[in-house]
Structure 1
Amino acid sequence: MTNGPGDVSGEVGAQRELLVTDRLWTVPNLLSVLRLALVPVFVWLLVRDELGWAALLLMVSGASDFADGRIARAYGLTSRLGQILDPVADRFYIAATVLGLAAVQVIPWWLVLVLFLRETLIVVMYPVVRHHRLPIPPVTFVGKAATFNLLSGFPLLLLGHVEGWWSTPCLVVGWALVWWGTALYWVTGLVYARQVAVMVRRRREGGVVSR
């Protein structure tokens, strides 16, 4: 059978499976845990109106998100825990960020709705994936780019609300990154939905789906 874009073949799946480790304490996993631990710190900084420090924290988070994927691929540290932990950490951080930024009027609430509708799309597919015992589609480059753009754009929007010569440039670049990130975020959600639909169809037709 010829594989189309987004299809998952048994052979490729088996090859990928060999690259996945069961190790828990890897550098990428520790970076994901660090991102999760910084969520309440970020919220606390926003409550105290420390927008500059909150922006710096978001920059650190964005850097760690970029680094964990690079390290995992470069040193063969991709793990089963990391495949779950990394996107969970990303989602928690983005959720805390968009809610916090909307609360301090840095972004509009309708943008929060757009981002959360995308998350809803992903969540409603979880029961389907579990019911058919499908493999979790791997995090893609586009997905990481979406998260990187959002976590790069949000701190710039925060800095744009701190008085200084940098305010206008930060707002312009920040909004550009946020719009690109939002678009890519939806693209990855739709691609994920298509991958799940293809695997479900193959399972029902008796095809082979990698585990």
Structure 2
Amino acid sequence: MTLVDRLFRQDDWRTVPNAITLVRLLLLPVFIVLIVDRHYWSSMVVIAVVFLTDFVDGFVARKTNSISELGKWLDPVADRLTVIAVVAAFALGGLLPWPVFVLILLPDVLLSIVSLVAFGGASFPVTWVGKVRTAFIFTGLLLLLVGVALVDQGRVDGTAGLESVGQTVETVASVLLVIGLIGHYVAAVIYGVALGRRMRDR
């Protein structure tokens, strides 16, 4: 059975959770444009919606028993695409250094190549470490965006207090991002071990 058959023909893939995941993916280019154009307050709304959909789709799938093969494949892929696209937007907007983007991108690229060569592509399992990692990264990015917006607004208004608050928020955001980045590599190691075990058991 091909990947297409398994994802689209084996069961009913037209589910609400899959639609929510699709909305998340469609919002990513919108977020990138907003960040690059420095529409920080508007981009906050978009990233907050993206963050919520990451948890809502799985919750709805479990509560309505509408788990599909496509959903099990699409959700973790969407998680990784979301993290990559959002961090890329921050780098393109000058809010994060490019090395951070590379550090986030590197493990997923390497694991995807191994998965593609060994199995012709395999889904990334959703783990609690991965979900916690995503929560830390998204929360850190959202706070970073709030901090940058406050600093920017403080400089425009000439309000030193607002700028100072923004800088404090940026510091807290940086700590959360470091924790999220560590979790990112822990999740990659867990998947790598599972991938290696699967290769040995073939």
- One fold, TM greater than 0.5? yes
Is the Cα contact below 8 Å between 1:36 and 1:89 reproduced in 2? yes
The percentage of aligned residue pairs carrying the same residue is 32
Corresponding letter in the other structure for 1:179: V
What displacement does 1:182 show? 1.1
Give the superposed CA RMSD: 2.1
Q: Which residue of 2 aligns with 1:160?
A: 147
CA distance in 1, matches of 2:171, 2:25: 28
Corresponding letter in the other structure for 2:94: Q
Residue 78 (1) aligns with residue 67 (2): yes
Which structure is higher in RCO with an 8 Å CA cutoff and minimum separation 6? 1
| Among 134, 142, 145, the residue aligned to 2:129 | 142
What displacement does 1:73 show? 2.7
| Among 89, 92, 103, the residue aligned to 2:92 | 103
CA distance in 1, matches of 2:185, 2:133: 9
CA distance in 2, matches of 1:148, 1:84: 20
What displacement does 1:35 show? 0.6
Q: Which residue of 1 aligns with 2:110?
A: 121
Deviations 1:18-39 (A, max 9, x none): xxx8221222211110011101
Q: Which residue of 2 aligns with 1:48?
A: 37
Deviations 1:132-184 (A, max 9, x none): x9x74531111111112212211211111113545134313322221121111
Q: Which residue of 2 aligns with 1:23?
A: 12
Question: Which sections of structure 1, spanning at least 5 residues, go unmatched?
Answer: 1-20, 204-211
Task: Give every structure 1 segment of 4 or more consecutive aligned residues whose post-TM-superposition deviation is greater than 4 Å.
Answer: none
SS state at 2:13 partner:
coil
Higher fraction of helix:
2
What displacement does 1:105 show? 1.9
Aligned length: 181
Is the Cα contact below 8 Å between 1:125 and 1:193 reproduced in 2? no
